[in-house]
Amino acid sequence: GSFGMKILIVANTDWYLFRFRLSLARFLRAQGMEVVLASPSGPYIAQLEAEGFRWLAWEVGRQSINPLREVGAIWNLFRMARRERPDLIHLHTIKPVLYGSLSAWLGKTSAVVRSITGRGYVFLGNDLRARLLKPLVMAIYRFALGAGRGITIFENEADRNFFVEQKLVTPANSCIIEGAGVDTDHYSPLPEPDGIPVVVLAGRMLWDKGVGTFVEAARLLRSKVSARFVLVGQPDAGNPASIEVEVLNRWAAEGAVEWWGWQSDMREVFSACHIVTLPSLGEGIPTILLEAASSGRPIVTTDVSGCRDVVTDGVNGLVVPPQEPSALARALERLIT
């Protein structure tokens, strides 16, 4: 039986654990398992500990590609696993998956579950750094995912196919679970607010979420329709695709968009808006779109992995090509009018 099993859940930010994995941790604990959480330090630790979970600090430089610093991160995770002796390690996002797989292989931990939550910067980015990193990351993935036993979870078919075709995983050792899901009691249909239509793009302020495309679309629409275009969320300094605060402030000052920054309760955002958009370059399964749908908001998103899995064009939203502001503007205009 599961009783007495110890599970170590590892992620690259405390925010990730709090936002996407708290319900899993609670569920496992209710089954009689001991759950230990590990991530770099951050503002959400207090809330994780208030829930009664033990949390361990694992510092990993999210932007760092310095192998010496990275060896330290792998070694520290290996030591943590050796000290804690979990029966199973569940790893989330690219670096924890890579380093956790290597440390599990070193420490001979047999049960490893890896969650690939999207292909991320290295695979989506087209700048020189991403292009240089890609073969290196592929080589590490090939070794790490093949090294230990265990299973790799993908959020959509496209991501899984990519990893299978690149021979990074075998079909037998991989499966699809479509995202972290949402609590439909927490996010339930909301009446539309009065006033002019409000269009929201919510998420981390990253270029690969299509924030620039949204701002361009807003500029195109300003003279044509009466609407408000709103960015919700903050930059993510650990991500190479993060948008500078100065840029966000400049857009807001120019009047192209409003920037509401970080909002603790997304239900308030959904109740204040009419349309939700995510013109991303690629996702796992975007939780924000599930929350929007659950709140009864129409969606405009892009025809890319993860996003197209959530929206059926013309049914619960509209689907447009990525990185095309004019196409995004047309779809938004259709819903606004």
Crossing angle between the packed helical segments 325-336 and 211-222, to the nearest 10 degrees: 60
pLDDT computed for residue 229 by the predictor? 98
Residue 176: strand, helix, or coil: strand
- How much of the chain, in percent, has pLDDT values that exceed 90? 74
76 pLDDT band, cuts 50/70/90, is: very high
Rounded-to-integer distance, Cα 77 and Cα 60, Å: 10
Q: What is the distance between the alpha carbons of residues 141 and 31, in angstroms, rounded to a whole number?
A: 32
Does this model's pTM top 0.75?
A: yes
Q: In angstroms, what CA-CA distances link 275 with 293, 319, 333?
A: 10, 13, 11
Rounded to whole angstroms, how far apart are CA atoms 57 and 35? Answer: 15
pLDDT digits (tens, 9 = 90+) for 88-142: 999 998 889 988 988 888 887 768 999 998 887 777 778 888 888 888 888 888 8
Burial of 43 from C-beta contacts in 10 A (0-12 / 13-18 / 19+): exposed
CA–CA gap between residue 13 and residue 59 (Å, rounded): 9
